[in-house]
Amino acid sequence: MSQQCPHTAALTIDPMVADLAGETRTLCEGPELTKIELLGAPAWTITRHNLARRLLTDPRLVKDHTRWNLWQSGAVTREWPLIGMIDAGRSMFTVDGAEHRRLRIKTTRALAPRRLGELRPKIEQFTAELLGDLAEAAAGGDAVDLKQIFAYPLPMRVISELMGVPRSDHTMLLESYKKFFSLLTPHDERMRVYAELDDYYTELIKEKTAHPADDLTSDFIHDVAEGETPLTEAEVHGNLKALVAAGHETTVSLIITTTRALLANPDQLAAVRSGDRSWEEAIEETLRWDGPVIHLLMRFATEDITVGDLTIERGDGVVMSYRAIGRDRDLHGEDADTFDLTRPTANRNISFGYGPHICPGAALARLEAAIAVPALFERFPDIRSAMPISELGNLPVLTQNDPAAFPVRLGGA
Contact residues for ligand STR, defined by CB under 6 A = 84-85, 88, 93, 241-242, 245-246, 249-250, 293, 296, 400
Closest CB to ligand STR among residues 84, 153: 84
CB of 400 to ligand STR, least distance (A): 6
CB of 178 to ligand STR, least distance (A): 13
Separation of first and last alpha carbons in the chain: 57
324 membership: H or E segment, kind and range: helix 322-326
How many Cα atoms within 13 Å fall on the side-chain side of residue 25?
A: 7
CB of 229 to ligand STR, least distance (A): 22
Distances (CA, A) of 166 to 124, 162, 194, 201, 216: 19, 11, 20, 12, 13
Task: State how far the Cα of 206 lies from the Cα of 275, in Å rounded to an integer.
Answer: 49
CB of 376 to ligand STR, least distance (A): 23
Q: Strand, helix or coil at 313? A: coil
Beta-strand relationship, 11-13 and 33-38: parallel
Length in residues, the chain? 413
Closest CB to ligand STR among residues 131, 295: 295
Closest CB to ligand STR among residues 13, 263: 13
Angle at 182 between CA 169 and CA 365, to 5 degrees: 60
Q: Are 341 and 285 in contact (CB under 8 A)?
A: yes
Closest CB to ligand STR among residues 324, 341: 324
CB of 244 to ligand STR, least distance (A): 8
Closest CB to ligand STR among residues 217, 265: 217
Rg of the chain (C-alpha set): 21
Task: State how far the Cα of 286 lies from the Cα of 251, in Å rounded to an integer.
Answer: 12
CB of 131 to ligand STR, least distance (A): 26
CB of 84 to ligand STR, least distance (A): 5
Q: At what angle do helices 120-137 and 362-379 cross, to 10 degrees?
A: 40
Angle at 137 between CA 134 and CA 138, to 5 degrees: 85
Task: State how far the Cα of 336 lies from the Cα of 341, in Å rounded to an integer.
Answer: 12
Q: How many distinct helices (H) and strands (E) make up the chain? A: 16, 11
Closest CB to ligand STR among residues 127, 176: 176
CB of 15 to ligand STR, least distance (A): 16
Instruction: Sort 329 into a burial class: Cβ within 10 Å, 0-12 / 13-18 / 19+.
Output: middle
Task: State how far the Cα of 225 lies from the Cα of 103, in Å rounded to an integer.
Answer: 14
Closest CB to ligand STR among residues 79, 124: 79
CB of 194 to ligand STR, least distance (A): 8
Closest CB to ligand STR among residues 20, 143: 20
